[in-house]
Amino acid sequence: MARKYFGTDGVRGTVGEFPITPDFVLKLGWAAGKVLAAHGGSKILIGKDTRISGYMFESALEAGISAAGVDVRLLGPLPTPGIAYLTRTLSAQAGIVISASHNAYTDNGIKFFGADGRKLNDEIELEIERLLDEDMSVVATDQIGKVRRIDDARGRYIEFCKSTVPGLNLSGMKIVVDTANGAAYHIAPDVFEELGAEVVAMANTPDGFNINRDCGSTHPEKLQQRVLDEKADLGVALDGDADRLIMVDHTGKLVDGDQLLFVVARDRKESGADMPGVVGTLMSNFGLELALQAQGIEFVRAKVGDRYVMEQLDQRGWLIGGESSGHLVCLDCTSTGDGTVSALQVLAALSRRDQSLADAVADVALLPQTMINVRGSSRDGFMDKAEVKAAMAGVEDKLGGNGRILLRPSGTEPLVRVMIEGKDADQVASLCRELADVVEKAIA
């Protein structure tokens, strides 16, 4: 059955435009409550990030769920992975996150976790979608769900984060932490400080409108400068809901998700953990693949999106995966991507090797990459056209096995992303332009 409302990560859009409206979210809460109650559920958690519309949608969900006869526990502002963690530990049947992740405050979204702290399975989501087309009803008055706030959610999650790195002591380390004016503003700085680090917090004063604005993992320029100004050992940048991580080394250089994934995977292997392989995505840099191969670690690519990374990890029984954007998954620590926990895994790896972040990523050389978006409406079967096949073969021949081509139709726009990686930046840019010209004619 095709999805009508749910995307790969819940329901998301612009606030005030369907479906991100109070009336739809009210009914979404009711439908989720009805479906989960039918599966034996009696309690749902609700958490949010710091955008202004979170108050409105929190109230709408609360009303809808209680109208379905299910109890609600309000967590307040909390990182997405923190809500996943508390869903497990508080024996709730689901956790709901009100967040649009790295998007601006004008967007918002609703995503769900199941009782295991992982994304709600497809069957449950489809059941919820079916109910959304029915008339809303209210249970008998004596069966309406009860609502109360969990006052110690923040403290519980902070202790969980620290528990993923037993024995780690960050004394003597100075860390700049950019929380994107988002859900981790009152959490991530405390985690690192309680482990002994000197913390310089920035973008940690949310006002409902400044989430992700010129800060966080998608805009790390100010963090890079702050690390230099403070003469810090490194910087940590999260996104609005704190499930992504980008870092900055002491020289002010960015360290992306691919490099961090390498540091964590190598550390797991050197520590004697079972490390048969790592899952990346179609957008993961070829340099990561080469670096992992040099460590004797297999690397496979999933479609872009953490849902697909998780699917591959589950199928293979592996534990470590992630995306270039910084969404890292360490299933030996937690059930979903967690920016703060991932940062701690990197810091633990640096401590065990007694290395700086800059030295730790020296063994993963990211290849130059060029990507061109080609617009056109005739994308069906374009890769089977003779001229496209010939152009791709020509590029592969020129790369000589030291690069990679990716042609990826956008799922939301009428365009094809043409991406080439290789060892020579000038050659990569030239070849990408040549291939893009061929694709442009093929899909015009």
Residues marked as catalytic: 101
The answer to whether 368 and 354 are in contact (CB under 8 A) is no
Rounded CA separation 102/105 (Å): 9
Count how many residues are written for the chain.
Answer: 444
Our CA angle for 417, 419, 424, nearest 5°, is: 160
Rounded CA separation 352/266 (Å): 11
Residue 243 marked as a ligand binder: yes
Residue 241 marked as a ligand binder: yes
The answer to whether 98 and 54 are in contact (CB under 8 A) is yes
Rounded CA separation 18/87 (Å): 28
Helix, strand, coil percentages for the chain (3-state, nearest 5): 40, 20, 40
Closest CA to 248 of 334, 387, 346: 346
DSSP state letters, 252-309? S-EE-HHHHHHHHHHHHHHTT----EEEEETTS-HHHHHHHHHTT-EEEEE-SSHHHH
The answer to whether 185 and 213 are in contact (CB under 8 A) is no
Q: Which two tokens stand for residue 86?
A: 């508390």
Q: Which two tokens stand for residue 32?
A: 């989720």
Residue 239 marked as a ligand binder: yes
**Which residues define the annotated binding site?**
101, 239, 241, 243
**Which residues define the annotated binding site for Mg(2+)?**
101, 239, 241, 243
